[in-house]
């Protein structure tokens, strides 16, 4: 491993040649705002999350970042410099919440709702944090690793006069 690097006072790593920043939840909004205004990362192309509950390999994180169960992954794009930057934010299981980037990049509205819907990570200050893909009375968050595959309640089970 090379020396720990930082950029904008945030730990920086490289994954397969792609630059990854590891801000904390508290740093996130100001960092993204600064990147938009000063570094011209004008587009937020992707917001997603990963549930590392069942991850068996060692986590690829800089030494001073504490691994947590959830990770919100944000993809930023600079149209001027043709460069990309990825942010990975650690989100603890005990308090699955992340500040919303809506006020910096309004285009994350649907993406953050999707993460909320499928992972149950709340985005504080999001204007309309409702489920987006699943029905609104759905229980659980399907992309969590403790949500089993294919476990849907079977209706009409045990019908006696089945043909």
Partner 1 sequence: MPAETVDLTPERQRTAEGLQELAPRKGATAQELMRELGAVLRMSEADAQALAEAEPLPGEDETMIINMGPQHPSTHGVLRLMLELEGEKVLRSKPIIGYLHTGMEKTGETLTYMQGPTNVTRMDYAAPLFNELVFSLATETLLGIEDEIPPRAQWIRMLLCEINRISSHLLFLATNGMDIGAVSMMIFGWREREETLRLLEMITGLRMNHNFIRPGGVAADLPDGWRDAILRVMDLIPPRLDEYDVLMTGQPIWRERLQGVGVLTAEEALALGATGPMLRSTGVPWDLRREAPYLYYDQLDFDVLVGTFGDCFDRYAIRLNEVRESIGLVRQILDRIPPGDYRIQDRKVTPPPRARIDESMEALIHHFKIFTEGFKVPAGEVYRAVESPRGELGCYLVSDGSARPYRMHIRGPSFVNLQTLPHMLHGGLIADAVAVISSADPIMGEVDR
* Site residues for partner 1 per CB under 8 A: 15-16, 18, 42-46, 48, 50-51, 54-58, 60, 73, 75, 79, 82, 84, 86, 102-103, 105-111, 114, 118, 127-137, 142-143, 149
Q: Determine the Cα–Cα distance for residues 35 and 42; give it in Å rounded to an integer.
A: 8
Q: Minimum distance from CB of 50 to partner 1 (Å)? A: 5
C-beta of 76: minimal distance to partner 1 in Å? 10
Residue 51 or 68 having the CB closest to partner 1: 51
160 Cβ contact partners less than 8 Å away, ≥ 6 residues apart: none
Q: What is the smallest separation between the CB atom of 27 and partner 1, expressed in angstroms?
A: 20
CB of 81 to partner 1, least distance (A): 10
Which residue, 149 or 162, is less far from partner 1 as judged by CB? 149
DSSP, collapsed to helix, strand or coil, labels residue 13 as strand
The C-alpha atoms of residue 83 and residue 79 are separated, in whole angstroms, by: 7
Residue in the block written with tokens 């934010």: 89
CA distance 119 to 133: 12
The Cα–Cα gap between 54 and 59 comes to: 12
How far apart CA 107 and CA 111 sit, in angstroms, is: 8
Nearer of residues 5 and 15 to partner 1, judged by Cβ: 15
The residue among 114 and 161 lying less far from partner 1, judged by its C-beta, is 114
Question: Closest approach of Cβ 119 to partner 1, in Å?
Answer: 10
**In the complex with partner 1, which residue's Cβ is closer, 152 or 162?**
152
Task: Please say whether the dihedral angle defined by the alpha carbons of residues 45, 49, 86 and 11, taken in this order, is positive or negative.
Answer: positive
């Amino acid at each position: 491993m090379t020396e720990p690097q930082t950029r904008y006072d945030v730990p920086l790593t490289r994954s397969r040649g792609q630059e990854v920043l590891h801000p904390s939840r508290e740093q996130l909004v100001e960092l993204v705002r600064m990147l938009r205004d000063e570094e011209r990362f004008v587009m937020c192309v992707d917001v997603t999350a990963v549930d590392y509950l069942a991850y068996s390999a060692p986590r690829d994180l800089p030494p001073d970042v504490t691994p947590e169960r959830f990770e919100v992954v944000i993809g930023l794009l600079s149209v001027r410099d043709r460069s990309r930057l990825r942010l990975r934010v650690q989100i603890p299981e005990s308090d699955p919440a992340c500040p919303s980037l809506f006020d910096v990049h309004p285009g994350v509205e649907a993406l953050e709702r999707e993460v909320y819907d499928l992972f149950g990570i709340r985005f504080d200050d999001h204007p309309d944090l409702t489920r987006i893909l699943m029905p609104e009375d759905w229980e659980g968050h399907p992309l969590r690793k403790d949500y089993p595959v294919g476990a849907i309640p079977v209706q009409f089970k045990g019908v006696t006069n089945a043909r």
